């Protein structure tokens, strides 16, 4: 059995790989990659904020 945590990680990794591949073929890849990095940064900050007491 695959644990839910590992399943979520696999889905997230697949999603990121798909977005990355899409960005590579996108005419707007520069803006798109900047947007993706910005969103990832926001999520990272939110996750770290949740860990704090």
Over residues 4-53, the pLDDT tens digits come to: 778 888 888 898 888 888 777 766 667 877 888 899 889 888 888 777 66
Q: What share of the chain is helix, strand, coil (3-state, %, to 5)?
A: 85, 0, 15
Q: For 29-45, b where at least 16 C-beta lie within 10 A, e where not — what string?
A: eeebeeebeeeeeeeee
* Residue 2 confidence (pLDDT): 62
Residue found under tokens 């904020």 = 49
Residue found under tokens 């890849």 = 29
pTM summary value = 0.39
């Amino acid at each position: 059995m695959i644990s839910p945590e590992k399943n979520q990680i696999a889905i997230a990794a697949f999603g990121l790989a798909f977005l990355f591949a899409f960005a590579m073929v996108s005419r707007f890849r520069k803006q798109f990659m900047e947007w993706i990095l910005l969103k990832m940064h926001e999520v990272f900050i939110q996750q770290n904020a949740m860990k704090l007491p």
